[in-house]
């Protein structure tokens, strides 16, 4: 049996009402806020059938507002990741973005989609239940050109959460959205991710510099970044590889998915709980971020103390800083070319 509920969650510092939407079926339960489109909680069973939460989040709107830069579970946009020097050049016109991360623009600062209040509408379609969030991003919001009508649709279907993004732009612009959920398959954050395992269908990844900007596409072969057969996070964290150290003793790197159609692109496993997570996507890249600075959040839901490596993000998206780093792969969106993205999270035990 599937159902969808709506409850008031709180009020923003600007007096806006925030709602919690609960999507539930016989397999999983997902909580989503219209504040940032935030996935607040995902309840899945372990190998013994015990339902527990597997994502990081907060218990109040004020905590989300206080730590907005961590983007727990939120929609990230208009651009996910860093744009070097905050310089966005579209067909010869330069748009200077504000700088918030080592002299670069990160995640569309200062107008984070994570702190925007979205319009929400629930739906039921047979056994599917879901939520459609919409908002209009005005021309020059965070100095990105063009007005864009955004729609993000969350569909709960059996053991899958399907996230679909759509952007209709009034003029030439660049769009690159993702979801920033931090996953921890132990259940209720009882352990960090050290002994969980990650596998990626990726022959190549992108090296970064000390500011986490992309510098070189590299073969993963014979490196700590070769995750094709899976590695425990602990083995990655303990590596002496300079790329691990440069981002705060973890991973914060783009991995280029092999082009293998509708196959699974990423997989997480936790042997102790038995839980698994598989990810399918139509995006070329997954930025893997192992929560190297999560301690800054201090206290999470249910009083859990925040610590680094308490969760891992699988941020399906476009190539990083693509208009500069790989201009031949850059895409421009406008009235005749909508932005579209689809990612599927598959939960198992």
* Type and span of the H or E element at 252: strand 252-256
pLDDT of residue 161: 98
pLDDT, residue 261, reads: 82
Tokens of 158: 């059996």
Q: Among this protein's residues, is 269 annotated catalytic?
A: no
Instruction: Specify the pLDDT at position 263.
Output: 94
Mean pLDDT per 10-residue segment, the chain (349 residues): 94 98 97 98 98 98 97 98 97 96 96 98 96 98 98 98 98 98 98 98 98 97 97 97 97 95 95 98 98 95 96 98 97 98 97
Distance CA 322, CA 328 (A): 8
- CA-CA distances (angstroms) from residue 232 to 30, 116, 157, 307? 27, 36, 29, 18
pTM of the model: 0.97
| pLDDT at residue number 5 | 96
Cα–Cα nearest to 313, from 106, 117, 70? 70
φ, ψ (nearest 5 deg) of residue 233: -60, -35
DSSP, res 236: H
pLDDT score of 260? 80
What pLDDT, on the 0 to 100 scale, is given for residue 259? 86
Q: Please choose, from the candidates 313, 257, 253, the residue with its C-alpha nearest in 3D space to the C-alpha of residue 281.
A: 257
Residue bearing tokens 């991360």: 101
The pLDDT tens digits for 173-193 are 999 999 999 999 999 999 999
Residue with tokens 């000390």: 210
Q: Containing H/E element for 322?
A: helix 322-325
- CB count within 10 Å of CB 245 equals 11
Q: Is 211 exposed, middle or buried (0-12, 13-18, 19+ CB in 10 A)?
A: middle
Residue pair 43/55 in contact (Cβ under 8 Å)? The answer is no
Instruction: Report how far residue 150's alpha carbon sits from residue 165's, in angstroms, rounded to the nearest whole number.
Output: 7
Tokens for 199, please give them.
Answer: 């596998």
- pLDDT for residue 297: 95
User: Alpha helix locations (H) across 26-111?
Assistant: 61-66
Catalytic residue among 52, 65, 141, 315: 315
* 3-class secondary structure, 309: coil
Name the burial class of residue 217, with classes exposed (0-12), middle (13-18) and buried (19+) by CB atoms within 10 angstroms of its CB: middle
Phi, psi dihedral angles at 63 (to 5 degrees): -70, -40
Vertex 144: Cα angle to 141 and 146 (nearest 5): 85
Taking only the tens place, the pLDDT of each residue in 222-273 is 999 999 999 999 999 999 999 999 999 999 999 999 988 889 999 999 999 9
Catalytic residue among 67, 107, 180, 309: 180
Q: How far apart are the first and last CA of the chain?
A: 20
| Residue whose token pair is 């201009």 | 327
In 3D space, the residue among 292, 290, 285 whose CA is nearest the CA of residue 320 turns out to be 285
Distance CA 27, CA 159 (A): 6
Is the backbone of residue 187 left (phi > 0), alpha (psi -120 to 50) or beta?
left
DSSP code string of 164-228: EEEEEESSSB--B-EE-PPB-TTSTT-S-STT-EEEE--SEEEEE-TT--EEEEEE-TTSTT--T
Q: Which residues pair with 168 in a beta bridge?
A: 149
**Residue 328 is a catalytic residue:** no
- pLDDT, one tens digit per residue, over 122-149 is 999 999 999 999 999 999 999 999 999 9
């Amino acid at each position: 049996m599937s159902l969808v509920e709506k409850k008031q969650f709180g009020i923003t510092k600007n007096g806006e009402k925030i709602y919690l939407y609960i999507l539930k079926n016989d397999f999983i339960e997902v909580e989503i806020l219209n504040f940032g489109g935030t996935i607040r909680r995902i309840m899945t069973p372990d190998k013994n059938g015990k339902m527990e939460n597997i994502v990081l989040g907060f218990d109040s709107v004020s905590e989300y507002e206080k730590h907005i830069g961590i983007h727990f579970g939120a929609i990230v946009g208009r651009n996910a990741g860093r744009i070097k020097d905050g310089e966005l050049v579209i067909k010869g016109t330069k748009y200077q973005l504000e700088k918030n991360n080592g002299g670069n623009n990160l995640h569309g600062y200062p107008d984070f989609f994570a702190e925007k209040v979205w319009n929400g509408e629930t739906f039921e379609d047979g056994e599917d239940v879901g939520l459609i969030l919409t908002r209009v991003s005005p021309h020059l919001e965070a100095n990105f050109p063009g007005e864009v009508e955004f729609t993000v649709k969350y569909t709960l279907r059996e053991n899958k959460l399907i996230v679909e993004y759509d952007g209709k732009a009034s003029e030439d612009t660049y769009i690159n959205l993702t979801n920033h959920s931090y996953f921890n398959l132990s259940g209720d954050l009882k352990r960090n991710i050290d002994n969980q395992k990650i596998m990626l269908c990726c022959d190549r990844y992108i090296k970064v510099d000390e500011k986490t900007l992309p510098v070189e596409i590299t073969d993963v072969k014979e490196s700590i970044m070769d995750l094709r057969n899976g590695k425990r996070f602990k083995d990655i964290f303990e590596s002496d590889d300079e790329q691990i150290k440069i981002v705060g003793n973890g991973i914060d790197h783009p991995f280029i998915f092999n082009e293998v159609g509708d196959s699974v692109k990423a997989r997480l496993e936790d042997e102790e709980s038995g839980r698994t997570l598989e990810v399918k996507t139509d995006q070329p890249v997954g930025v893997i971020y192992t929560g190297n600075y999560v301690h800054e959040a201090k206290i999470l839901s249910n009083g859990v103390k925040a610590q680094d490596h308490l969760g891992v993000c699988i941020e399906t998206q476009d190539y990083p800083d693509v208009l500069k780093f790989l201009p031949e792969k850059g895409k421009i969106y406008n009235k005749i070319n909508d932005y579209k993205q689809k990612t599927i999270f598959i939960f198992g035990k």
